[in-house]
Structure 1
Amino acid sequence: MTQSLNQLLKLARSVSMTEPQKTLQRISFAYGTAKIENENVTREMVERAAGKNE
Protein backbone atom coordinates (compact mmCIF):
# COMPACT_ATOMS: atom_id res chain seq x y z
CA MET A 1 0.00 0.00 0.00
CA THR A 2 1.03 3.55 -0.53
CA GLN A 3 2.10 5.74 2.34
CA SER A 4 -0.93 8.02 1.94
CA LEU A 5 -3.33 5.06 1.99
CA ASN A 6 -1.70 3.70 5.13
CA GLN A 7 -2.05 7.11 6.76
CA LEU A 8 -5.75 7.31 5.83
CA LEU A 9 -6.39 3.82 7.19
CA LYS A 10 -4.68 4.75 10.46
CA LEU A 11 -6.88 7.85 10.77
CA ALA A 12 -10.03 5.88 9.91
CA ARG A 13 -9.37 3.42 12.73
CA SER A 14 -9.55 6.23 15.27
CA VAL A 15 -12.94 7.58 14.13
CA SER A 16 -15.73 7.05 16.63
CA MET A 17 -19.25 7.39 15.26
CA THR A 18 -22.16 8.67 17.33
CA GLU A 19 -25.34 6.58 17.58
CA PRO A 20 -27.22 8.83 15.12
CA GLN A 21 -24.33 8.50 12.65
CA LYS A 22 -24.37 4.71 13.05
CA THR A 23 -28.11 4.66 12.42
CA LEU A 24 -27.73 6.71 9.24
CA GLN A 25 -24.90 4.45 8.09
CA ARG A 26 -27.01 1.33 8.69
CA ILE A 27 -29.92 2.82 6.75
CA SER A 28 -27.62 3.79 3.90
CA PHE A 29 -26.13 0.29 3.77
CA ALA A 30 -29.55 -1.35 3.89
CA TYR A 31 -30.86 0.92 1.14
CA GLY A 32 -27.89 0.26 -1.12
CA THR A 33 -28.12 -3.48 -0.61
CA ALA A 34 -31.89 -3.59 -1.12
CA LYS A 35 -31.71 -1.37 -4.20
CA ILE A 36 -29.41 -3.89 -5.90
CA GLU A 37 -32.04 -6.60 -5.41
CA ASN A 38 -35.12 -4.49 -6.11
CA GLU A 39 -34.95 -1.23 -8.06
CA ASN A 40 -38.36 -0.20 -6.67
CA VAL A 41 -37.02 0.18 -3.12
CA THR A 42 -36.77 3.79 -1.95
CA ARG A 43 -34.74 5.29 0.84
CA GLU A 44 -37.98 6.33 2.52
CA MET A 45 -39.12 2.69 2.59
CA VAL A 46 -35.90 1.67 4.31
CA GLU A 47 -36.16 4.55 6.79
CA ARG A 48 -39.72 3.52 7.69
CA ALA A 49 -38.64 -0.09 8.16
CA ALA A 50 -35.73 0.98 10.35
CA GLY A 51 -38.07 3.05 12.52
CA LYS A 52 -40.19 -0.01 13.24
CA ASN A 53 -37.23 -1.85 14.74
CA GLU A 54 -36.00 0.90 17.05
Structure 2
Amino acid sequence: MDERLNALIEAAKSVVMTREDIEKQRESFAYGNTNIENSRITRETIAAAAKKLKENGEY
Protein backbone atom coordinates (compact mmCIF):
# COMPACT_ATOMS: atom_id res chain seq x y z
CA MET A 1 0.00 0.00 0.00
CA ASP A 2 1.09 3.57 -0.58
CA GLU A 3 2.97 5.05 2.41
CA ARG A 4 0.75 8.14 2.48
CA LEU A 5 -2.33 5.95 2.65
CA ASN A 6 -0.79 3.90 5.46
CA ALA A 7 -0.01 7.09 7.38
CA LEU A 8 -3.60 8.30 6.97
CA ILE A 9 -4.99 4.96 8.11
CA GLU A 10 -2.78 5.01 11.20
CA ALA A 11 -3.79 8.60 11.98
CA ALA A 12 -7.47 7.71 11.60
CA LYS A 13 -7.14 4.95 14.19
CA SER A 14 -6.48 7.50 16.92
CA VAL A 15 -9.32 9.91 16.07
CA VAL A 16 -11.83 10.28 18.87
CA MET A 17 -15.22 11.31 17.55
CA THR A 18 -17.51 13.52 19.59
CA ARG A 19 -21.18 12.72 20.03
CA GLU A 20 -21.93 15.49 17.52
CA ASP A 21 -19.48 13.98 15.00
CA ILE A 22 -21.13 10.58 15.36
CA GLU A 23 -24.60 12.07 14.88
CA LYS A 24 -23.50 13.97 11.76
CA GLN A 25 -21.90 10.83 10.34
CA ARG A 26 -25.02 8.78 11.08
CA GLU A 27 -27.25 11.33 9.34
CA SER A 28 -24.89 11.51 6.36
CA PHE A 29 -24.89 7.71 6.07
CA ALA A 30 -28.69 7.58 6.31
CA TYR A 31 -29.07 10.28 3.67
CA GLY A 32 -26.62 8.66 1.28
CA ASN A 33 -28.30 5.28 1.51
CA THR A 34 -31.92 6.40 1.40
CA ASN A 35 -31.46 9.01 -1.31
CA ILE A 36 -30.22 6.27 -3.65
CA GLU A 37 -33.57 4.49 -3.31
CA ASN A 38 -35.80 7.56 -3.03
CA SER A 39 -34.70 10.85 -4.54
CA ARG A 40 -37.40 12.69 -2.59
CA ILE A 41 -35.41 12.15 0.61
CA THR A 42 -33.52 15.29 1.55
CA ARG A 43 -30.94 16.10 4.21
CA GLU A 44 -33.70 18.00 5.96
CA THR A 45 -35.90 14.87 5.97
CA ILE A 46 -33.11 12.93 7.62
CA ALA A 47 -32.39 15.70 10.15
CA ALA A 48 -36.08 15.85 11.09
CA ALA A 49 -36.24 12.08 11.54
CA ALA A 50 -33.08 12.13 13.68
CA LYS A 51 -34.53 14.91 15.83
CA LYS A 52 -37.75 12.95 16.33
CA LEU A 53 -35.83 9.81 17.29
CA LYS A 54 -33.76 11.81 19.82
CA GLU A 55 -36.89 13.34 21.33
CA ASN A 56 -38.36 9.85 21.73
CA GLY A 57 -35.15 8.56 23.31
CA GLU A 58 -34.58 6.11 20.47
CA TYR A 59 -31.30 7.59 19.22
Give the TM-score range, shorter chain: over 0.9
Q: How many pairs were matched up?
A: 54
Match of 1:5 in 2: 5
TM-score (norm 1): 0.94
When normalised by structure 2's length, the TM-score is: 0.87
Unaligned runs of 5+ in 2: 55-59
CA distance in 2, matches of 1:46, 1:16: 24
Query: Higher relative CO (CA 8 A, sep ≥ 6), structure 1 or 2?
Result: 1
For the aligned residues, what is the CA RMSD? 0.6
Asked if 1:31 corresponds to 2:31, the answer is yes
Structure 1 residue runs of 4+, over 2 Å off? none
User: Residue 21 of structure 2 corresponds to which residue in structure 1?
Assistant: 21
